[in-house]
Amino acid sequence: MQAANSKSPRVLVLDPSVEARLVLCELLSRTGVATAGAESVGDALVKLKQSPVKVLVVDADAFDPAELAPIVEAAARRGAATVVAGTNRPAGEFGFVRKPYHYRELVHKIWTALEATENPGRAAA
Integer Cα distance of 13 and 75 in angstroms = 12
**Mean pLDDT of successive 10-residue segments in the chain (125 residues)?**
55 95 94 94 95 91 90 92 76 66 85 83 51
Residue 120 confidence (pLDDT): 65
Q: Where are the domains of the chain?
A: 11-118
Measuring CA to CA, how many Å separate 58 from each of 4, 37, 78, 119, 121? 22, 10, 16, 22, 25
Residues 6 or more apart in contact with residue 52 via CB below 8 angstroms: 8, 78, 79, 80
| Percentage helix, strand, coil for the chain under 3-state DSSP, each rounded to 5 | 45, 20, 40
Give the CATH superfamily of 11-118. Answer: Response regulator (3.40.50.2300)
Residue 117 confidence (pLDDT): 84
